[in-house]
Amino acid sequence: MSPSRTVQDPATLPLPPGRQGLPWIGHTLRYVRDPLGLFDEVYAEHGPVSWLGAAGRRWTCLLGPDASEAVFRNADHAFASGPGWSYLVGPFFDRGLMLLDGEEHHRHRRIMQQAFTADRIARSTDAMHGPVDASLDTWRPTGGFAAYPALKELTLDLATRLFMGGTDASPERMAALNRAFVDCVQAATSVVRVPLPGTRWRRGLRGRILLEDFLREHLPRARAVETDDLFSALCHARSEEGEVFTDADVVNHMIFLLMAAHDTSTITLSAMMQHLGQHPDWQDRCRAEVLALGSRPTRADHAALPSLDLVMRESMRLVTPVPVVARQAVKDTAVLGHRIPAGSFVMTAPLFTHHSPEVWRDPERFDPERFAEGRREDKVHRYAWHPFGGGVHKCLGMHFGGAEVLTVMSHLLRRFEWRVDPGYVCPIDYTSLPFPSDGLPVDLRPRPVA
């Protein structure tokens, strides 16, 4: 039996060991600079269960696949997602699906699943090609091309088109919306968590207001006519009991989904561009699969892109889009021989597990074949690889995200070649979700369109 499944009486167990770090700040700055180094150090000193100070709180750290399983299986219903995430991002992503629990979460998730059926994802995949081509038409291949901001602009445009049926907002307003999403996400690791001038917290609150205003402006159109986009689907969704989302529900879910739909995809696409640029053999291999298909591959065609799928999985392992997952214990519980008291803020770290030498062979090496049949290193434990989380809060849009990444990358491989210095080490900023602080410069060159 897995240690995470052993029944233990919390009252008989010791509290986790740990360390505060700096007063109030704790280890926040260390996390932003080098979260993996911090987790490696904590794990070496205390093992899979410990605590550390960060962002004004004491956080219980549950590290490694067994500890992650205890959180995501949540067998005794001790861990709540809402209060954990609410402390970090509640004012900015209030009542998004990730911040709901229990029956309310189940009801909202059931309604929202209408937007992520296999048929809808297939139709969305077909609808992506035109916008992706139009966006790539604006790229100007050159040495030192900043790939990350270009990809982020592309994925935000895709999100607004597919989730909202498009918008007539100016490029300047779209840039402001992009900045608002960044401000909301980066506020999570704020040291100063009150809206003082010049703070990330205040910028996040202003970003939330901008996003709400934008969506409320478009809400009447979505309410008036039922169309195929997510915004309209949420406006017209109805439970079996006849319950519908309020305007506030729709706006809250849209803000969270628009962020999730373009931030995590951008991170994955950026990592894929880096590693394919540093490994031209893999780039050529993936391009050959893409060129064997038509110029607009369908969702069903993605099954014919096994190498690209391997690269996507390995890139998500190396640069985990959501490095940590937050929870709060709502009652005393036991994890791997330690008592977690009610009220404890808890984090588990997919980033740590994805780089653990106890789970992966040579974990810092780019090796997509580790996911191939015959090896399947990701199968050594149910939570060896879990970039989408797990349990009842597992990412609802993971299949949509995979379709988006494979579609965008198919167009990139068809239209461009690129190289990245093999010795390049991407400077990743972990102020919130990871992103390359230098914009990910690549040597981008056009290729004949096939």
Collapse the DSSP code of 225 into the 3-class scheme (helix H, G, I; strand E, B; otherwise coil) and give the result: coil
Convert 262-300 to b/e letters by CB count within 10 Å (16 or more is b). bbbbbbbbbbbbbbbbbbeebbebbbebbeeeeebbbbe
Q: Look at residue 191 in the predicted model and tell me its pLDDT.
A: 78
The answer to whether the Cα torsion of 266, 440, 178, 85 is positive or negative is positive
pLDDT in tens, 187-227: 888 878 899 999 999 999 999 999 999 999 989 988 988 88
**Domain with 326 in it:** 10-366+397-446
96 located within any domain: yes
373 located within any domain: no
Average pLDDT value for residue range 226-237: 82
379 located within any domain: no
The yes-or-no verdict on residue 266 having pLDDT over 80 is yes
90 located within any domain: yes
Which H/E stretch holds residue 272? helix 247-278
pLDDT in tens, 289-329: 999 999 999 999 999 999 999 999 999 999 999 999 999 99
Q: Look at residue 450 in the predicted model and tell me its pLDDT.
A: 58
84 located within any domain: yes
User: Structure tokens of 76?
Assistant: 């005794």
The yes-or-no verdict on residue 57 having pLDDT over 70 is yes
374 located within any domain: no
Q: Give the number of domains in the chain.
A: 1
Q: What is the CATH number of the domain that holds 239?
A: 1.10.630.10
